[in-house]
Chain A
Amino acid sequence: MSSTVTALPVARSTVTRRRAYDWAIEKFIYLSSLVAIAIIVLIFLFVGREALPVITSPRVHEEVTLSTMFLAQNYGTPEAPLPYVWQPVGAVPKYSVMPLLLGSLKATLIAMLFATPLAILAAIYTTEFAPLWLREFIKPVIEMLAGIPSVVLGFFALIVLATFLQDTFDLEFRLNAINAGLALGLAVIPIVYTICEDALTAVPRSYRNASLALGASPWQTAWKVVLPSALPGVFAGIVLGFGRAIGETMIVLMASGNAAITSWNFAEPVRTLSATIAAELGEVVFGSPHYHVLFFLGVLLFVITFALNWLGTVVVARLRRRLSGADR
């Protein structure tokens, strides 16, 4: 009897301890997620606050306004007008954002055109066609590409890729949008590949079996059955890859030539938003118009990636709905 008396409190205390433990863990996880959200909100508030004077402060407006940033100006000479100039240091500072926007867009476009097909096709090959041993080899190797520091990729593009491209295609500029875009593509491939590969693997075996049973070849099965079913995942991968490409800094800083040119010629150097911030933020006097404009560029990058992610979610949701509708 005495043993039950002593045993009971022990058991109860274990339960309460376990409950307290669970409670603590739950709160800890809850706090962790809260901290992550709080940090994002704080960063956004900080960047936004530093960028705000571009819109509100009359002192900043003496040097730069939204219209001088986005609309054509009368720079240069009448014979050779330069409507969009980014030259923030000088007697008359010039802050046109257009060459930077265009630069980011050009480099990212090249990167996506190069990386997306490669990554998707590689993912289809590894999930649908490759023998197991080869798959176990290709997958980690491509994923290792994501582990290469971007400064190393940039260095590679600056020294090796640029010379190769110029010699092969006889380009006028050694460092240009194509060079930077291809190097960016190397950083994007593993992201798109990994997500595509997961999405393709997640397609139920029964789909493939049904398709093959109906007489489709393995290629037809992969291209017309598996890939369409995995489309939401594939698209999500592309969106994430785009976000990486447009925000990537070190590679473009090193490989793009950093000349703020407004032209659609992809063989000319480009200066991207991210590289501009990286190159110039270290120098600016705190609180100067230039400083606020750089934060404004940051907000611009933020808005672009946000808009894109939002668009991505909408499209993925729509694709998913359509797919599930087709299933029934």
Chain B
Amino acid sequence: MRKSIAILTIAALALGASALIAQQRNITVKGSDTMVILGQRWAEVFMSKNPGLAIQVTGGGSGTGIAALINGTTDIAESSRPMKDVEKAGVKDKRGKDVLELPVAVDGLAVYVNDANPIHELTLAQIKSIYTGAVKNWKDVGGRDERIILYSRENNSGTYVYFKEHVLENADYYPTAQTLPGTAAVINAVSKDTRGIGYGGIAYGKGIKHLRIKKDANSPGVEPTMENVLAARYPISRYLYWYLAGQPAGDTLKLCQWVMSADGQSVVEKVGYYPLSNTDRSKFAALVGVGGASAKAAKKGS
């Protein structure tokens, strides 16, 4: 009996020790479903440059990642919406550290309809009235005489919150809006439903039609393309963020600095999002201690 207790204690100690050792070479990234692929690609490239380091990237929604950051179960929270003040206070309360907000990429939010839908562009106001239930038939916005079927995201998604704040201007979604888990599910639903309308990241937008968005009735319809988003012509675009509790150190700091480097930003484009503009990049890179962003990054590479 006493022997088995001793063995158990040793095993527990060994486990604890190995966990401690593992912790130093292990970074967890959690949050936005929109950013999962981006985060994973970053992790793959960075891990190949830094053998022995393990980065775990998981999704669940921006809110999930932020909750995990507050509860201390993730090192980095990915979020497709800015963190709320309450949430920042939560990190301060529970972790005793200030939140570090790091915009890491730019994303445009596309509004999709089925390929068979004759509509090609809508104004922001029209999209708002469609999603708040004021307009229920496609013919009221110039389409066929059919009911509009709304597809939305679950309310734990940053996309849901962003769309609600910036397109619906904080009005409520109409109750018949079907909430689906993930942009991929929304696109799948719209591709199967000729009367459907949905919204989500541009990166996922394949197989269905992206609407051109008009800021108001008189302005031209703008397509969600890289040039338009980067030039801030496209009306529904946003930053994608990484959130950390306090200033990072060690591997996490190196990861953040690399993500903000030209090398790291080149990954963004491959996944289908938009890299930060050069002015943004040097501004935000300073947050993780990169002075002249390119100079330091070059030194790191050598």
Contact = CB atoms under 8 A, between A and B. Distances in A.
Q: Is the interface of A mostly helix, strand, loop or mixed?
A: loop
A187 to B, nearest CB: 20
Given A279-B154, A285-B90, A268 B172 contact: no
Nearest to B70: A285
Interface residues of A, number: 35
Contact of B70 (A90, A253, A260, A286): A286
Interface string A270-300: 0100000001101111101000000000000
A282 B64 contact: yes
A291 to B, nearest CB: 9
A285 B180 contact: no
B272 interface: no
Interface in B54-78: 60-61, 63-64, 66-67, 70-71
Contacts of B248: none
A258 B71 CA distance: 28
Contacts of A280: 154-156
Given A75-B172, A172-B149, A286 B193 contact: no
A99 interface: yes
A258 to B, nearest CB: 4
Given A87-B155, A173-B149, A285-B67, A279 B175 contact: no
B147 to A, nearest CB: 6
B176 A261 contact: yes
Contacts of A163: 192
Contacts of B177: 259
Contacts of A261: 175-176
A282 B155 CA distance: 11
A85 B64 contact: no
Contact of A269 (B133, B170, B176): B176
A150 B60 CA distance: 20
Contact of B156 (A85, A262, A279): A279
Contacts, number: 85
Chain B, interface size: which category? 20 to 34
Contacts of B176: 259, 261, 268-269
Contact of A82 (B90, B170, B175): B175
Nearest to B61: A283
Given A269-B178, A279-B156, A279-B179, A90 B172 contact: yes
A48 interface: no
Interface string B140-163: 000000010100001110001100
A84 B2 CA distance: 63
B87 interface: yes
A144 interface: no
Given A172-B149, A174-B189, A174-B192, A283 B67 contact: yes
A99 B160 contact: no
B41 interface: no
A88 B189 CA distance: 24
B71 A286 contact: yes
A175 B178 CA distance: 8
B63 A284 contact: yes
B149 A286 contact: no
A260 B156 contact: no
A257 interface: yes
A29 interface: no
Contacts of A89: 155, 160-161, 164
A86 B155 CA distance: 11
Interface in A83-134: 85-91, 94, 99
A80 interface: yes
Contacts of B147: 172
A94 B90 CA distance: 22
Given A75-B172, A89-B160, A90-B172, A282 B67 contact: yes
A279 B149 contact: no
B154 A258 contact: yes
A134 to B, nearest CB: 39
A98 to B, nearest CB: 11
Nearest to B172: A87
B174 to A, nearest CB: 9
Contacts of B164: 89-90
Contact of A94 (B70, B172, B178): B172
A82 B172 CA distance: 11
Given A163-B192, A261-B175, A286-B67, 4 more contacts: A75-B172, A89-B161, A259-B176, A286-B71
20 contacts: A85-B172, A85-B175, A88-B155, A89-B160, A89-B164, A90-B170, A91-B170, A174-B149, A174-B193, A175-B189, A259-B176, A269-B178, A279-B155, A279-B179, A280-B155, A282-B64, A282-B67, A283-B156, A284-B67, A286-B71
Across chains A and B, which 6 residue pairs bring their CB atoms closest together, nearest first? A283-B156, A283-B63, A257-B178, A89-B155, A258-B179, A282-B64
